[in-house]
Amino acid sequence: MNTPKARFTFFSFLLIALTAYFSFKSVMPQNTSENKVPEEAFSTVRAFAHVNQLAKEPHYVGSKAHETVRNYIISELKQLGLEPTIQEGYTLDSSGNISKPKNVLARIKGKKSNKALLLLSHYDSDPHSAVGASDAASGVATILEGTRAFLAKGEQPENDIILLLSDGEELGLNGAELFVNKHPWTKDVGLVLNFEARGSGGPSIMLLETNNGNAKLIKAFKDANLQYPVGNSLAYSIYKMLPNDTDLTVFREDGNIQGFNFAFIDDHFDYHTANDTPENLDFNTLTHQGSYLMPLLTYFSKQDLSQMNTDEDLIYFNTPFGFHTYPFSWIFPMLIVIILLFIAIIVYGFSKNMLSSKGILLGFAPFLISLIVSCGITILAWKLINWLYPQYSEIQHGFTYNGYTYIILFAFLSLGITFYTYQKFKKKVTAANLTIAPLFFWVVITVLAALYLEGASFIAIPVLLSLISVFILIIQQQKPSVLLLTLLGIPAVAILVPFIKLFPVGLGLKILAVVPFLIVLILGLLMPFFGLYKRKKWTAYAFFLFAIVSFVKAHSTSDFSETRQKPNSLVYLLDADQNKAIWKTYDRILDTWTQNYIKDESNTSQNLQVIDSKYSAGFTYTQDAPIKSVPLPKIETVQDSIYNDLRHVTIKVCPQRTVNRMEVFGAGKDFESMTVNGEAFTKVPTKRSNRLISYYVSDNEALEVSFTLKPSTKTQLIIYEASYDLLNNPLFSIPPRDKNMMPRPFVLNDAVIVKKTIEL
């Protein structure tokens, strides 16, 4: 076989590199600027003005800033000529999470009495230090600005449009539960557009919530002609398996109402932290959210939303060339074609002496060596990196500030390993023989996807094109056209390369080995022309050099700074039962701030009753503290009587200071029934941690718990009452954090806690 000229292979390499680049850059607006935006068009500048007002400071449920944000939203809705209302009331979920959300609602009347379109986002931030610019002031701002632009057209929609700025989403989707289960407008809703965030940048990804097939939703999404559609059925399938619920989940589960989530996840290290500020929210990302809302609002305001249900499903995915769909019914026919074509190519290749048993077997060697060595080195290197930089363990998100650099580092490293490995076999094995091994693995993966993860079945397209490339390679055995083969490989790059970033960003750096795994597999699909490249060794050396540069860059940003703050924590716990006080922290590495109160790591925390946290983090270290005169809660026994062969007890916990949260622990199996602030459990929680109730306090209202138990049962309730005011409580003199520190997210932090036990 004649090898192609160097200029053709260079152009081929450049074309693949540019495709990979544009697969990331083309999915969202880039470097946008605004000049004279029409009144009826979405303006990111105007939307950002809302973000700046909504995210001045943390505004969690029960805080003063929370009320300020709510009043701002109401004022803005009134300026649009709408009549906002507030829905409030207690909600209690099956895990014992209870709060009193205050939803803000408004309605635009349509021409017909069809099902309504509901625009959804939440206005509360995560307790207690999250500023919430992205999560989810960005969503509220998108809806406010989008609604303004829509109304500026002066056209009455066909359908009613309901605006729901929900409350208590961060506590457990409480506002959505309140609306779906207790508001009369719920029965009118036909479809929901929900705007969310789990980071502060990057493209907004479309994810579905539906109890039925997705075909009509996806077709409508495509027909709306969005400029930057981003979404794929693989991410949707994985999303359904993970506990990443949003407000929209409640609509699907409790109301059988389907809809779209639009959420961005890049810069995950800002999520739920003091760094989720307007300054860190990407302007282009907010523009992307607006680019979803406006065409979808226009489209769905005119559609019959009562006709969105179907049992049919579609495969869907985006590339730089558009948004693509095809029916699930194509999955197995495509799979059969792939299997038959794979067999036919092997038979045809042998008949043309382009394939041989020895060549195919030798072709497995570089593929398996590249795959095993690349993934193995990545796993071991990441363990070594975490040992060398123990401070990474303080980032509970699982995505470090320099996480993108590590993705690039291991991408370059695996590219170098793969190019170098295949260079060793360039004289022994032809490109056609080299392709059979990775194609065999891809055929197996395609079979598994069809059987167990149907949403991933679009991988059949690059596999099919790679098979066609091998067929062409066999036909053109004397003068293979590297450029034609490269063109057939471009879809594989456009479809698959974005997952190299998406998986570790979405699931954390703990799965960093997926980077080399995908790279080796993708290069395997490109083997028909990749195998023709001459200078693999020098290309490998270049990638190794890039990997070294990436490591130096990662090292230079591995420390904490004013822009990469170390999360730390401190709480004061007054045990009223033992008249004892202690300092506690969740930190694994003590710093100069926490060491003001916890001197060393000699006293580890043994408290198993951990107040709930997102990542189940418990206290790590503790030290005795001076007893402060923190006002204790007033606990009253309102009722304690026996009738109908059960003991009926009602207790009331009244705060004697401003508090934000109460936790109640007890043996759930001891109780026959339980009601909290008028909301009844369908089944009393019996979790291993014995946590019965998490009460997020609004307006400093009391906690009232009524329960029944057998007259002979002896039990106890342990109550933790917490306020988020450790740093400004007059009883304490806590110094401010250094500029390279911030409050640890996802835990009860900077808190004054009182513990009190009730014997029953």
**DSSP per-residue string spanning 516-529:** HHHHHHHHHHTHHH
Domain identity same for 456 and 573? no
Question: For residue 612, is pLDDT > 90?
Answer: no
| Residue range of the domain that includes 312 | 49-319
Query: Tens digits of per-residue pLDDT, 715-727?
Result: 999 999 999 999 9
Beta strands in 236-365 (DSSP E): 259-266, 314-319, 322-327
Nearest to 264 by CA among 190, 197, 219: 197
Taking 70 as the threshold, does the pLDDT of residue 627 lie above it? yes
Same domain, residue pair 648 and 666: yes
> Tens digit of pLDDT for each residue in 582-600?
999 999 999 999 999 998 8
Domain-terminating residue out of 518, 540, 556: 556
- Residue 472 pLDDT greater than 90, yes or no: yes
Asked, for residue 312, whether it belongs to a domain, the answer is: yes
Whether the pLDDT of residue 396 is over 60: the answer is yes
- Whole-number average pLDDT of the chain: 93
> Are residue 378 and residue 252 in the same domain, yes or no?
no
Examine residue 524 and state whether it is found in any structural domain, yes or no. Answer: yes
Instruction: Check whether 7 has a pLDDT greater than 70.
Output: no
35 in any annotated domain: no
The continuous run of DSSP H or E covering 567 comes out as strand 566-568
**Res. 623: pLDDT tops 90:** yes
608 pLDDT band, cuts 50/70/90, is low
Amino acid at 128: H
Q: For 426-429, which contacts have Cβ atoms below 8 Å and span 24 or more sequence positions?
A: 426/531, 426/534, 426/536, 428/362, 429/359, 429/362, 429/363, 429/366
* Cα separation, 199 vs 266, whole angstroms: 5
Residue 43 lies in a domain: no
Write down the pLDDT at residue 376: 97
Residues 179 and 277 in one domain: yes
Residue pLDDT, tens place only, 38-66: 899 999 999 999 999 999 999 999 999 99
User: Helix or strand or coil: residue 205?
Assistant: strand
- Is there a single domain that holds both residue 585 and residue 617? yes
106: part of which helix (H) or strand (E)? Answer: strand 102-108
- Average pLDDT, stretch 684-704? 89
Number of domains in the chain: 3
Look up the pTM and report it: 0.94
Express each pLDDT in 509-537 by its tens digit.
999 999 999 999 999 999 999 888 888 88
Do 197 and 246 belong to one domain?
yes
Split at pLDDT 50, 70, 90, the class of 254 is very high
- Domain for residue 705, yes or no? yes
Same domain, yes or no: 296 and 428: no
Residue 709 three-state SS? strand
Residue 85 burial by CB count (10 A; 0-12/13-18/19+): exposed, middle or buried? Answer: middle
* Angstrom distances, CA of residue 457 to CA of 150, 234, 474, 488, 489: 38, 8, 27, 19, 18
543 and 451, same structural domain? yes
Q: Which of 266, 294, 319 is the last residue of a domain?
A: 319
pLDDT band, residue 35 (cuts 50/70/90):
confident
Q: How far apart are CA 70 and CA 62, in angstroms?
A: 12
Residue 281 lies in a domain: yes
CA-based radius of gyration for the chain = 29
Does residue 146 lie within any of the structural domains?
A: yes
Q: Is the confidence at residue 609, as pLDDT, over 70?
A: no
Say whether both 447 and 545 belong to one domain.
Answer: yes
User: Residue written as tokens 């407000």?
Assistant: 247
Distance of CA 415 to the CA centre of its chain: 28
Same domain, 358 and 280: no
As given in the structure block, the two tokens for residue 161 are 């449009």
Asked if the model's pLDDT at residue 243 lies above 70, the reply is: no
Q: Which two tokens stand for residue 418?
A: 């793969």
pLDDT confidence of residue 688: 66
Q: What is the pLDDT of residue 245?
A: 80
Reply yes or no on whether the pLDDT at 463 is more than 80. yes
| pLDDT single digits (tens) 135-179 | 999 999 999 999 999 999 999 999 999 999 999 999 999 999 999
Q: What is the CATH number of the domain that holds 302?
A: 3.40.630.10
User: For 351-375, what is the mean pLDDT?
Assistant: 94
Tell me whether residue 41 is exposed, middle or buried, using C-beta atoms within 10 angstroms of its C-beta: 0 to 12, 13 to 18, 19 or more. Answer: middle
pLDDT of residue 69 exceeding 70: yes
Using one digit for the tens of pLDDT, what is the confidence trace for 113-140? 889 999 999 999 999 899 999 999 999 9
**Residue ending a domain, choose from 277, 293, 319:** 319
Query: From CA 519, how far away is CA 373, in angstroms rounded?
Result: 13
Task: Tell me: pLDDT of 388 over 80.
Answer: yes
Residue 375 has pLDDT above 80, yes or no: yes
Q: What contacts 691, CB < 8 A, 6 or more positions away? A: 96, 609, 612, 663, 664, 665, 685
Classify residue 32: in a domain, yes or no: no
Edge-to-edge strands, sheet with 201-209 = 85-88, 102-108, 161-166, 116-122, 189-197, 259-266, 201-209
DSSP string, 21-61: HHHHHTTS--S---SS--TTS--HHHHHHHHHHHTSS---T
What confidence tens digit (pLDDT) does each residue in 336-345 have?
999 999 999 9
- Alpha-carbon distance of 677 to 400, in angstroms, equals 41
Give the integer Cα–Cα distance in Å for 310 and 365.
47
194, 113 in Cβ contact below 8 A? no
Q: Please say if the pLDDT value at position 2 is more than 60.
A: no
Q: How confident is the model at residue 299 (pLDDT cuts 50, 70, 90)?
A: very high
pLDDT of residue 5: 60
Q: Is the dihedral of CA 606, 608, 612, 614 positive or negative?
A: positive
- The percent of residues above 90 in pLDDT, for the chain, comes to 84
712 in the same domain as 592: yes
| Pair of tokens at residue 317 | 């995915």
The residue among 261, 232, 260 whose CA lies nearest residue 498 is: 232
Looking at residue 397, what is its pLDDT? 86
Q: Does one domain contain both 90 and 237?
A: yes
